[in-house]
Structure 1
Amino acid sequence: MKTLTLLLAFLMAAGFAFAQDDYQNHEVETIFSNQRSNGGYGAFTIGYTQIDGRDAMVAGARGAFIFDHSFAIGVAGYGFVNDLEYHNYQSNPEDRFFLAGGYGGVFFEPIVGGTKPVHVSFPIVVGMGGISLVEHTNWDRDYYHDYQEYDTDLFFVFEPGVELEFNLTRFFRMAAYGSYRLTSDIELYDTNPDVLRGFNVGMTFKFGKF
C-alpha cells in the first residue's frame, strides 16, 4: 500500500512539473505577446474495468476550465456496473447479485504540450461516491426482471490517470486513457473491502474551446 501511495504521489508531482515546464516553454515561444489563451470543455468517457472479479463498464462526464493550454480544473462524475453477463442468471443463480454505483468530485488536469496535435495529460479526480449490492429478484423469469438493493455504502475516491490525446479539430479532441481507482474500504455484505480498487482503460471525447 505504501508503494502504491508513493507511486501515485510521484505521478502527480511529475504531471504538475511537466505542465509547468510546458507552460514556461510556451511563454518563451510567444515572448512578443502578453496574451493568454483560456478556454473550457465538456467531455464524456466510456471505459472498461473489473469489479469483484467480473467485467464492468464505467461511463461518465466532466467539465473543466482550461488555463493557457497547460492546466484544467472542473468537476467529474462516473457511474459503474458489473452486471455485463445477465444471460448467465438461468444457469448460475449466484450471478443474480451485482454491484452498481457512482462517484464524482473535483477534477484536476495538468496538460503537457496542449497545443501539439498529439500530447498527454494527467487527470486526477478527488471526491466520494456510493455503491450498492443489487439483486435480480425475478432472475428465474425469462422476460421480467426486477431489482432490489441488498446493501449500500459510501466511499472516498482518489483516481489519478494519464491520457494520450489527439487534436482532431479546433473544437474536438479524442483521448485514450488509463487510470487507477483508489477508494476507502467498502463495507458491503459478502464483499471485499477493496472491491473497487483497480485499473480503468477507455476513451474520452472532448468538445470545447481549447
Structure 2
Amino acid sequence: MKIRYIIFFTGLVMLAGQTVAQQFEYADNNQVKTLLGGQVKVRGFGSVDLKVSQWNKQTTLLVGGHGGVILNNQFTLGLGGYGITTRSKFKSSDNQDNLYLGGGYGGLLIGYSIFAREIFHVHFPILFGGGGIDVLEDEDNIFSNGFDNIKDSTGFFILEPGVEIEINVASFFRLAIGGTYRFIEGSDLNDISQSDLENWSTHISFKFGKF
C-alpha cells in the first residue's frame, strides 16, 4: 500500500474530530450548542471479537477485542487489539517450508453509529495503531521454543476502516457483523511483501456493556 492512502484516511479521521470540536453556535441566550448536545451521556462497553482474514494468501483466524466509551449512543472511543491464532504456512526464498506467521496488532479505535437506538443499525469503526509480525519455525508448537524459533520479524503501522451491522439484542448486549480492510505501512519482512499482509477481514463481535 502506498503511504498516501494512510495519510488520506488518517486525515479524514483528524478532520472528523476537528469538525466535532468546532460544530457549535451561540444562541440568543449565549448558550453554546454542540454536536453532542447540552448533556452528554457516557456509556461503557467491552467486546470479544473473532476475525477471519488472509495473511500472506492464507486464511487466518484472529481473536481479540475492543472496549471504551460511547457518547450519546453515537460516537465510540476506545482501544482494540487482535492476535493471529492459526498458522499461515509458507515457503521462504531458500525453500524452507516449515515457516509460519505469528503476531498481531492494536491501537486506538473510533466509531460512529447511525440510528443506534434501532434494533438494526450501522456502525463505522476505524482502528489505527501498530503491530508486529514474526516468521516462526516450528512443526509442533509455534511458541514452544520461546524466542528461539523467530527467524524474522517486523513492526508496522496499521489503519483499518470498516463497516458493520449492529443488533441490539438486549440492553446490555449487542451483536455486530461486518468487514474491515487492513492497510499496512512499514513492514520489511524478507520473504513476504507488504501487500501480502493487507487484505479484507470479516468479523463478528459480542459487545457487552451499558448501551
Within a 5 Å distance, the mapping from 1:57-206 to structure 2 comes to: 57-83=61-87, 95-136=97-138, 139=139, 145=141, 146-147=144-145, 148-206=149-207
Where structure 1 has 5 or more consecutive residues not aligned to the other structure, the ranges are: 28-33, 86-92
* Shift of residue 195, structure 1, vs aligned partner: 2.3
Q: Which amino acid aligns with 1:153?
A: T
Q: Which amino acid aligns with 2:67?
A: G
CA contact (8 A) 1:12 1:122 kept: no
SS of residue in 2 equivalent to 1:126: strand
Q: Which amino acid aligns with 1:117?
A: I
Q: Does 1:50 align with 2:54?
A: yes
* Shift of residue 177, structure 1, vs aligned partner: 1.2
CA contact (8 A) 2:63 2:85 kept: no
1:31 is aligned to none
* Shift of residue 10, structure 1, vs aligned partner: 10
Within a 5 Å distance, the mapping from 1:2-41 to structure 2 comes to: 35-41=39-45
CA contact (8 A) 2:100 2:137 kept: yes
What CA distance in whole angstroms lies between the structure 1 residues aligned with 2:85 and 2:97?
13
- 1:158 and 1:6, CA in 2 relative to 1: closer, same or farther beyond 3 A? closer
Larger helix proportion of the pair: 1
2:26 is aligned to none
SS of residue in 1 equivalent to 2:170: coil
Q: Which amino acid aligns with 2:99?
A: F
CA contact (8 A) 1:82 1:98 kept: no
Deviations 1:174-203 (A, max 9, x none): 010100010114211211122221100020
* Shift of residue 2, structure 1, vs aligned partner: 8.8
What CA distance in whole angstroms lies between the structure 1 residues aligned with 2:133 and 2:54?
15
What CA distance in whole angstroms lies between the structure 2 residues aligned with 1:130 and 1:10?
24
Q: Identity of aligned pairs, percent? A: 31
What CA distance in whole angstroms lies between the structure 2 residues aligned with 1:164 and 1:10?
25
SS of residue in 1 equivalent to 2:195: coil
SS of residue in 2 equivalent to 1:168: strand
CA contact (8 A) 1:123 1:162 kept: yes
Aligned residues: 187
CA-atom RMSD in angstroms: 3.1
Where structure 2 has 5 or more consecutive residues not aligned to the other structure, the ranges are: 24-33, 90-94
